[in-house]
């Protein structure tokens, strides 16, 4: 019999052990994400700065965009033995950042970002995220789920996460967003995931969370953006369907793409088959994007992304 608080897990003890092992694997590290004009000596400058403060670099990855003459880098190091307090990092790193015209961001891996999930009626993406969250795969906190329908309340209750219903009426969307914003600020939310939230967010709302709202679109963008992509794909007789996870911008379904995947279909597949196969894609594509965002592996530039290994 399944125990309270563990969904689809036959043994409560094994679930606790699994979560404990994942927790032990979490490293006490810092991550630096950098973008700047490409030039000689950038890797050496960053590495020498970290070495000067006794950093043990665990991972380093870089990318050069030749067309834009842009250098992008992610470097992660062990904080054990690192001699520079992170609260003093900005002041110490500023001379190097200014010299090379760097845009940069520092993150501490041990800190759990606070995630709010927006959802409508479809529950498959929400269910997948909550399972991965409970199993310890997603290193974050989920203090609130917001929905314009009551359909998924049972799922939030199962995982014992607060659920807030907020009606989004056609002529009163601004009022709904004000309530949502109040809740998000109260819960100190760092980023938002739209797990099949079937509403268009206002530009004003999006600007509050620039590159911090992740959406799943049930199509391989840029094909079939907007509403009912499976219906249009079926009408076109496509041989591949896909799903796309991207950051939300003011232009519908046009934000920087984080992850995509596809599934082959044939003339034998009905519209219902496309929808069912697509739902599996949506879950995995969204969960990958969310995990990469949490792990500070995504760097946005020129309306696209680099996802570092």
- What's the chain's average pLDDT? 90
Tokens for 11? 């043994």
Structure tokens, 39: 């030039």
Topology match between the domains 29-108 and 114-307: no
The DSSP H or E segment spanning 6 is: none
Rounded to two decimals, the pTM is 0.88
- Both structure tokens of 219: 């199509």
How much is the pLDDT for 1? 40
Question: Can you identify the CATH homologous superfamily of domain 114-307?
Answer: Formyl transferase, N-terminal domain (3.40.50.170)
Structure confidence at residue 164 (pLDDT): 98
CB 110 within 8 A of CB 28: yes
pLDDT digits (tens, 9 = 90+) for 70-82: 999 999 999 999 9
Question: Mean pLDDT across the stretch 6-27?
Answer: 49
- Looking at 20-29, 65-74, 90-99, 295-304, which range is the least confident one? 20-29
- Ramachandran quadrant class, 41 (left: phi over 0; alpha: psi -120 to 50; beta: rest): left
Q: What percent of the chain has pLDDT over 70?
A: 91
As annotated, the active-site residues are 253
pLDDT band, residue 213 (cuts 50/70/90): very high
Which residue ranges make up each domain of the chain?
Answer: 29-108, 114-307
The count of residues in the chain is: 309
Cα 75 to Cα 65: distance, rounded to the nearest angstrom = 18
What CATH architecture does domain 29-108 belong to?
Answer: 2-Layer Sandwich (3.30)
The reported pLDDT for the residue numbered 21 is 45
- Per-residue burial over 269-306, b = 16 or more CB atoms within 10 Å of its CB, e = otherwise: beeeebbebbbebbbebbbbbbbbbbbbbbbbeeeebb
């Amino acid at each position: 019999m399944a125990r309270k608080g563990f969904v689809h897990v036959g043994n409560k003890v094994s679930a606790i052990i699994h979560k404990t092992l994942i927790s032990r694997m979490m490293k006490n590290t810092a991550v630096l994400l950098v973008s700047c004009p490409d030039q000689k000596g950038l890797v050496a400058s960053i590495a020498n700065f970290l070495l000067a403060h006794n950093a043990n670099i665990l991972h380093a990855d870089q990318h050069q965009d030749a067309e834009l003459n842009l250098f992008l880098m992610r470097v992660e190091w062990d904080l054990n033995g690192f001699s520079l307090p992170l609260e003093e990092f900005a002041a110490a790193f500023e001379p190097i950042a200014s010299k090379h015209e760097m845009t940069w961001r520092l993150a501490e891996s041990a800190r759990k970002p606070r995630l709010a999930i927006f959802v409508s009626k479809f529950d498959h993406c929400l269910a997948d995220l909550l399972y991965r969250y409970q199993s310890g795969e997603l290193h974050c906190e989920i203090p609130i789920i917001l929905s314009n329908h009551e359909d998924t309340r049972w799922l939030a209750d199962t995982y014992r996460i607060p659920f807030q219903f907020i009606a989004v009426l056609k002529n009163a969307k601004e009022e709904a967003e004000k309530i949502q914003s109040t809740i998000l600020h109260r819960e100190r939310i760092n980023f938002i995931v739209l797990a099949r939230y079937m509403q268009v967010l206002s530009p004003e709302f999006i600007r509050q969370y620039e590159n911090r709202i992740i959406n799943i679109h049930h199509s391989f963008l840029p094909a079939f953006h907007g509403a009912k992509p499976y219906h249009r794909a079926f009408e076109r007789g496509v041989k591949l369907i896909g799903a796309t996870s991207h950051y939300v911008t003011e232009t519908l379904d046009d934000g920087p793409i984080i992850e995509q995947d596809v599934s082959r279909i044939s003339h034998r597949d009905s519209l219902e088959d496309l929808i069912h196969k697509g739902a599996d894609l949506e879950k995995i594509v969204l969960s990958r994007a969310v995990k990469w965002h949490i792990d500070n592996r995504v760097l946005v530039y020129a309306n696209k992304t680099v996802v570092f290994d």
